[in-house]
Amino acid sequence: MKLFGLIAVIIVGALLLSATGDFPDFGDPQSPASASPLSTHYIEGSVYETKVPNLVTAVLADYRGFDTMFETVVIFVAGIGIIAVLRAFGTPAAELPEGGGEEGDDDLIIRTTCNLVFPVIQVFALYVVAHGHHSPGGGFQGGVMLGASYILLALSCGLPAAKRRLGERQTIVLAAIGVIVFAGWGVACVLFGGNFLDYAALDPIIPGDVQMARSHSMLGVEIGVAFTVTAIMFVIYANLSTRGRLRDGL
């Protein structure tokens, strides 16, 4: 069986390696991905149409906003699935595994360092969310960093300390609010006479011209994404590390 696996790997690997010769060169302007009129339109027109210097965010949050909305829904559903599978409601305390860390036996150095780093991470995460359409970053990255800051707090000061700041009920509400913000932004566009997630329709209620309406709308939906991702990352960690009991974590 091992020999068969080795032969299969060698054959598939040789096929893949021989296929890489057909790839276009790195940065080749004549490659099918670069030469299509759609990508030319994005590269040349997105700054004038949306006033967003970061092309990636313009494509993700505006031109393909529908796609990103359902990515957010995927993350939301993943978190709900984790809760449905792992969360153990009402398990007796006697079944807890031995060696679960109690609060209070932590190292002073770890606690102090994490308390110093925690606000810095959070401020930087908020900057990444808020500045995502002008520099690399955006809702996903900023949301993951914000969730990671709570995970750091749970690792250093114990899960109860993190749960005091981001409780279980709050996380689920926050995750739902994120999806509602994104979808609601699209519905608002419909109410103002445009298509779903056609941000230019929001021009009457957002200050600035049509381009700024699209730019500000991108910020709005990115904030929605960040809400969902923050909450779901913390939910996944909290449920995985405590086997769904949400106490006595790592």
Residue ranges in contact with other proteins by CB under 8 A: 26-27, 54, 56-57, 128, 136-138, 140-141, 144-145, 147-148, 151, 155, 233, 236-237, 240-241, 243, 249-250
Least separation in angstroms between CB 137 and other proteins: 6
Nearest-5° Cα angle at 231, 247 to 110: 55
Nearest to 76 by CA among 229, 234, 180: 229
Nearer to other proteins, 182 or 203 (CB): 182
Least separation in angstroms between CB 38 and other proteins: 19
Q: Is 153 helix (H, G, I), strand (E, B) or coil?
A: helix
Q: Is 250 helix (H, G, I), strand (E, B) or coil?
A: coil
Least separation in angstroms between CB 27 and other proteins: 8
Q: How far apart are CA 132 and CA 109, in angstroms?
A: 34
Nearer to other proteins, 184 or 243 (CB): 243
Nearer to other proteins, 57 or 171 (CB): 57
Distance in angstroms between the alpha carbons of the first and the last residue of the chain: 39
Least separation in angstroms between CB 220 and other proteins: 19
* DSSP at 242: T
Q: How far apart are CA 50 and CA 197, in angstroms?
A: 14
